[in-house]
Every structure is written in structure tokens, then in C-alpha cells.
């Protein structure tokens, strides 16, 4: 009789644990739905936030299916071979899509110069393994369902390997790419963004592994993912305040932060760039074309930064003016690379533009001390306008 009572108590305890697991997942779902509503209400058309919405959505879907998994294991929903395989199949596919979404969002975050066609091409390539996994896993589940489950209708180790394999491939790749980009000299001022992108994988793998191998009834993965999503959202909000919405370059707010974050004074050059005849473009072709010209210049400046091999900070200073801080002893080389990049960008557009985009530039040395920065900007600005007058 005592043995029977013990088994009943154990069953009731296990039931309460699974119910608690589902309740925690539902709580995380409610939180993420509020976050999703907040993201949708943001007054920004940035593709990065659209991708972030999808990322949050797939987290919600995964937690929802994981809750159903818990209730099936608990016996609240029908527990048989079909129901167990169904929830585990969905878990595997949704997990793959979730980490695929993480990959796309991470690429966009660490490569803000990516165009929409480039993102769409990357998405098409990365979807192929998910489709293959979905088809193959479905076929094997149908052909031999008993192979995947033990006598207690629990998934065998092979299923867990399939569950984590594709997500691990996506996220390990993201981590490596994020770290390489983050520690590149030209990206040091955005190191926080790259480290956030790179940190998701180790934590997610550790959380998922701990849950799978040590405590399947503790929602460790759910807690970790919700925490990271919130952290990324807060960081994105901070970036939104520091990003120019038209050109997607840093703005004056980010410039101020950059200057105050410099702990060691390092000599550099302040480079000012102004679009030539910008008012004529606006007056003759309209402000839409004026904005288009600014975007073209910003793309050229991004490409110039990629070609240069030293630390750079780039921002839209205001109107049609751009500012660059270059830690180099050869500022003329920077100007030459910018001119080449601007010419290449114009040629790439071909006959797309009814006008030619040109720019005047000037530079001045800066000793790295914040109190002398304004003087360097004024000197660079003066030389820029001297170049503009000589250009006609």
C-alpha cells in the first residue's frame, strides 16, 4: 500500500511540475506578446526591427508548442505515439526556424550596409536546410514512429541530436562571424552590438543543453531566451536613438557617446564632407531625390570604411554634412578612398540618377582630447568650404 501511495504522490508531483513548466512558458509568451506590440508601434520603417518582430514571433510560437508538449507529457492532453511525435516534430522545426531568424537578425545587426536583395538572398539560402529537415524528419516519423520513442513514449537521444543540430550550426556561425567583425579595428566603437550578437549562442546552447540533459521540467531555455530578447530590445531602442533614420549612419547623439567613451587620448583626423550643389538637387528634383542623394553618399562612405584598414567613426553630422574620425597618419588616403567609393557608387547606379553626386571634403588633426574636438571640427569645416569654393 505504501508503494502505491508513493507512486501516486510521485505522479502528482510530476504532474504539478509539468503544469508549472507550461505556466512559465505562457507567462513568457504574454510578456513577449506585449513586447511584440511595443515593437509594432515603433515609428520606424527599419528592416532590422521587422526582422526582430519575426524573431520575437518565433520565440512565442516555440514557447506555445513547448507548453503543449508539457501538457501532453502530463496527460492533460492525449498522450500517445501520434501526439508525442507531433509536438516533438513541431519543436524541432520551430527551433530551426527560430535560430534561422536569429541568424538573419544578427547578420543585419552586424552588417547595417546590407541591402534588401542581399538579405532576401541570404534568407533563401538558409531556408534550404530547414525544408530538408522538415521533409526528412516527417518521412522518418511516419515510416517508423516506434524507432524515435522508448517504451515510456519519451524521445530517444537521436531525436535530441536532430533537435539541436541545425540551431547549433546557425548560432555557432553567428557567434564566430560576430566576434570576427566586432574585434576588427574599424568596428571597435560598435563592439557592444557585436558582443550581444555573439553572446546569444553560448547561453542558448548552455540553457538548452542543461534543460535537455539535466532537468527537462525546468524552463531554463524559456527564461534565457526571454531575458536575451528583452536585452536585445533595450539595446535596439538605444541604437534607434543614436541612428539617423534616413542614412542608417550614427547621428550626433552617437557622436557624443563616442567622444565620451574614449578613455585613452589618441591622435586622429576629423574629416568633414558636404554634398555639392545639394540645394539645387532639392530645388530642381525635389526632396525625395535629395534624400536619395544623401543615401547614395552614405553608402559610399560605408564602402570606404570597409576598404580602409584602421579604426573609423562615421556619422551624419547634419543636413548634407557627414563627419568621420579616422585614426590614421595619412588623411589624404582616406579622402582618396572616399572619392573612389563615391565614384563607384555613382557608376553602380548607372543612369538611375538624373544628376551627378559630388562632395567636398576637408580635414584637421585632433589630439584625442574632447575639449579640443570642437576646434578640430571648425578647422575641418573651414577647409571643406575652401575645397567647395575651388570646386565651383
pLDDT in tens, 256-312: 888 887 766 677 899 999 999 898 988 888 888 888 899 899 989 988 888 887 778
Span 163-184, average pLDDT: 77
Q: Considering only CA atoms, give the Rg of the chain.
A: 27
pLDDT tens digits, 89-99: 999 999 999 88
| pLDDT for position 214 | 65
Asked whether the CA dihedral 104, 205, 85, 33 is positive or negative, the reply is negative
Q: Which of 47-61, 208-222, 363-377 has the highest mean pLDDT?
A: 363-377
Is residue 337 within 8 Å of residue 308, measured between CB atoms? yes
| pLDDT for position 11 | 46
Confidence of residue 324 (pLDDT cuts 50, 70, 90): very high
In the predicted model, is pLDDT for residue 185 greater than 60? no
In the predicted model, is pLDDT for residue 184 greater than 70? no
| pLDDT for position 351 | 64
For residue 356, the SS3 value is: coil
pLDDT tens digits, 271-282: 999 999 898 988
| pLDDT for position 55 | 87
In the predicted model, is pLDDT for residue 367 greater than 80? yes
Q: Please state, for a pLDDT cut of 90, what percent of the chain lies above it.
A: 24
| pLDDT for position 4 | 44
> What's the mean per-residue pLDDT of the chain?
82
Is residue 300 within 8 Å of residue 361, measured between CB atoms? no
Element (H, E) at 313: strand 312-318
Which of 321, 328, 336, 329 has its CA nearest to residue 380? 321
Element (H, E) at 152: none
In the predicted model, is pLDDT for residue 141 greater than 80? yes
Confidence of residue 196 (pLDDT cuts 50, 70, 90): low
The residues facing 272 across adjacent strands are 323, 362
Which of 232, 249, 251 has its CA nearest to residue 241? 251
In the predicted model, is pLDDT for residue 190 greater than 50? yes
Span 159-177, average pLDDT: 82
Domains, the chain? 2-241 (1.20.1070), 252-391 (3.30.70.270)
Asked whether the CA dihedral 45, 46, 52, 58 is positive or negative, the reply is positive
Using DSSP, how many helices (H) and how many strands (E) does the chain show?
A: 13, 4
Q: Order the strands of the 359-366 sheet from edge to edge.
A: 312-318, 321-326, 268-275, 359-366
Confidence of residue 29 (pLDDT cuts 50, 70, 90): very high
pTM: 0.68
pLDDT tens digits, 207-260: 777 776 766 667 788 888 888 888 888 877 777 778 887 888 888 988 988 888
Distance CA 224, CA 204 (A): 7
| pLDDT for position 201 | 65
Question: Going by C-beta distance under 8 Å and a sequence separation of 6 or more, which residues neighbour residue 258?
Answer: 189, 250, 313, 325
Q: Which of 15-29, 116-130, 343-357 has the highest mean pLDDT?
A: 116-130
φ and ψ of 182, to 5 deg: -65, -35
Q: How far is residue 161 from each of residues 155, 167, 207, 364, measured CA to CA in Å?
A: 11, 11, 15, 58
Amino acid at each position: 500500500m505504501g508503494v502505491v501511495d508513493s507512486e501516486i504522490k510521485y505522479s502528482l508531483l510530476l504532474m504539478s511540475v509539468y503544469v508549472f513548466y507550461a505556466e512559465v512558458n505562457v507567462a513568457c509568451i504574454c510578456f513577449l506578446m506585449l513586447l511584440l506590440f511595443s515593437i509594432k508601434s515603433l515609428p520606424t520603417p527599419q528592416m532590422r526591427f521587422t526582422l526582430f518582430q519575426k524573431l520575437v514571433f518565433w520565440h512565442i510560437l516555440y514557447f506555445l508548442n513547448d507548453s503543449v508538449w508539457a501538457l501532453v507529457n502530463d496527460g492533460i492532453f492525449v498522450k500517445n505515439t501520434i501526439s508525442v511525435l507531433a509536438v516533438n516534430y513541431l519543436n524541432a522545426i520551430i527551433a530551426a526556424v527560430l535560430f534561422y531568424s536569429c541568424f538573419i537578425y544578427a547578420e543585419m545587426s552586424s552588417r547595417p550596409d546590407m541591402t534588401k536583395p542581399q538579405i532576401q538572398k541570404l534568407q533563401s539560402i538558409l531556408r534550404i536546410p530547414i525544408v530538408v529537415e522538415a521533409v526528412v524528419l516527417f518521412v522518418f516519423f511516419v515510416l517508423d514512429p516506434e524507432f524515435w520513442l522508448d517504451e515510456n513514449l519519451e524521445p530517444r537521444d537521436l531525436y535530441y541530436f536532430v533537435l539541436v543540430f541545425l540551431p547549433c550550426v546557425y548560432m555557432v556561425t553567428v557567434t564566430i562571424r560576430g566576434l570576427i567583425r566586432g574585434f576588427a579595428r574599424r568596428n571597435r566603437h560598435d563592439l557592444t552590438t557585436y558582443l550581444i550578437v555573439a553572446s546569444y549562442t553560448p547561453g542558448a546552447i548552455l540553457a538548452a543543453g542543461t534543460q535537455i540533459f539535466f532537468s527537462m521540467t525546468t524552463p531554463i531555455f524559456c527564461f534565457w531566451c526571454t531575458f536575451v530578447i528583452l536585452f536585445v530590445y533595450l539595446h535596439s531602442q538605444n541604437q534607434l536613438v543614436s541612428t539617423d533614420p534616413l542614412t542608417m549612419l550614427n547621428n550626433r547623439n552617437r557622436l557624443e557617446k563616442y567622444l565620451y567613451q574614449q578613455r585613452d587620448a589618441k591622435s586622429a583626423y576629423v574629416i568633414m564632407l558636404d554634398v555639392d550643389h545639394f540645394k539645387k538637387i532639392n530645388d530642381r528634383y525635389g526632396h525625395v531625390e535629395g534624400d536619395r542623394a544623401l543615401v547614395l553618399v552614405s553608402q559610399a562612405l560605408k564602402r570606404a570604411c570597409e576598404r580602409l584598414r584602421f579604426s573609423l567613426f562615421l556619422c551624419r553630422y547634419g543636413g548634407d554634412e557627414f563627419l568621420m574620425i579616422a585614426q590614421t597618419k595619412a588623411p589624404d588616403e582616406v579622402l582618396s578612398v572616399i572619392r573612389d567609393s563615391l565614384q563607384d557608387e555613382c557608376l553602380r547606379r548607372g543612369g538611375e540618377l538624373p544628376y551627378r553626386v559630388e562632395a567636398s571634403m576637408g580635414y584637421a588633426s585632433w589630439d584625442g582630447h574632447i575639449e579640443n574636438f570642437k576646434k578640430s571640427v571648425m578647422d575641418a569645416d573651414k577647409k571643406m568650404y575652401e575645397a567647395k569654393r575651388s570646386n565651383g
